[in-house]
Amino acid sequence: MINVFFLLILFSSLLGRIKFPGLNIGIHYLLLPALSFCVISSSLKLIPEILKKHKTILISMSLLFFWMWMSSLISPFPNTAITYSIKYSTYFIVFFAFLVITFRTLKTSSLTFYYRCILYLLQIIAALAFLETFFPKYWIFKLLKFPSYYPQIGSIMQNPNQFGVIVSIGLCLSLILEKQKKISKFELYISEFIFLIPLALSGSRNGWLIFILGMVLLLIYKIISIRKMIFLLSLWFLCIISIPVSTYRIGLVNSKIFPLINLFSTNPSEIRLPSPLGTALSRFSLWQAAIIEIIKRPITGIGIGAFAEHIGLQVFKLKGYHAHNIFLNVLVEQGIIGLLLFTNFLVRIASKVKYANPVVLIPIAMFLASQMPDVFVEDYTFTTIEFYFLAAAINSRKDLIMQ
């Protein structure tokens, strides 16, 4: 039954766009904690042992969430901050449920099941990207997709950047699982096809950098050879210079040769997207705005979610622009105290991963690195999967290392 709840948690994280009838509240805010409580209640006998073993981690996370609420209550934007505090409190429950799931797992076969489920979910998301390429107004995107930047492809993720990062992680995960003989060669070939092309279609430079990082980490851990890495990077680069959106994103919009598809088409695609240079430089405007707010309220911050809803709105006249760096975003919204508590939480996790396997460590490194130039906490699919890997790393034990 635990496995069923796990699958439902993953599926529920995709339902952010589906609202309660008559209310502007996503049903995932109810489903995620409800399903997590089902996981917890089915393993009540393990709770005392989990609390004892992971006392420091849970205290660190509790303090982080406690301060999130405190800074929200004294925020200059209390309504926004309290609303986001309620939303993000869901993550604490989901994280604890994943701690229970990974703690009670005694067999490698069970661990494999969870990683395969995540891989298949990412494959489904990537497959939907192909559908979006040809039918961007298809009903499933109207139902599940957030407003995005088409013709950049984001599948049913909130944004093409999250999508680009998540398919990069999916590709690396498939390579690790195949190396450890948890999936077949055929499944790996499917993954390589289904992740590489949408990665180029996403036009996400963040996702591209994370993909390169993943390849380097796989090489360091001897998951892939230099020849394999060169092959994958070459194939990925060929996709980039062949597809109009990705070619535009690397600044070759006026090239007569690129994208390569122009060599076979008499009607080159016209791409209407924000300037690639402009979107990169816009981060400086956000960082500057964040620093100004930090100086005003260095200790307590402006409250969770307030930067994207209010300060980013002042900079770009649109909501949703966070500080584009996870540490800077925590500092501006929760102050120095919040940043110290957040850093302490990460350090506590790092101290627990002595026996963690590359199947855990590499995705975690990619998740964290992707949020140096961005912040993806609002994407529930992205963050839910991230929390599973964190929980798995925390519960890693020498006798449970997947070979």
> Residue 316 and residue 318: Cα distance in Å, rounded?
5
Residue type, 243: I
Lookup: tokens for 243:
């597809």
Lookup: tokens for 89:
């409190």
User: What DSSP assignment string belongs to 96-128?
Assistant: HHHHHHHHH--SHHHHHHHHHHHHHHHHHHHHH
Which pLDDT tens digit goes with each residue over 210-262?
999 999 999 999 999 999 999 999 999 999 988 888 888 877 766 666 676 66
| Residue 162, pLDDT above cutoff 90 | yes
Do residues 301 and 64 touch, judged by C-beta distance below 8 A?
A: no
Which ranges in 221-320 belong to alpha helices (H)? 226-242, 244-249, 276-296, 306, 312-316
What's the chain's length in residues?
403
26 phi and psi, to 5 degrees?
-65, 140
Lookup: tokens for 183:
């999936």
> Residue 63 and residue 5: Cα distance in Å, rounded?
28
* Per-chain mean pLDDT for the chain: 87
279 pLDDT band (50/70/90 cuts)?
low
Which pLDDT tens digit goes with each residue over 341-376?
999 999 988 887 766 688 899 999 999 999 998 999
Do residues 282 and 259 touch, judged by C-beta distance below 8 A?
A: no
Q: What count of other Cβ atoms lies within 10 Å of the Cβ of residue 359?
A: 24
Percentage of the chain lying above the pLDDT 90 cut: 62
pLDDT value at residue 254:
67
111 pLDDT band (50/70/90 cuts)?
confident
Axis crossing angle, helix 205-220 with helix 226-242, rounded to the nearest 10: 170
pLDDT value at residue 13:
94
398 vs 350: which has the higher pLDDT: 350
Which pLDDT tens digit goes with each residue over 324-342?
899 999 999 999 999 999 9
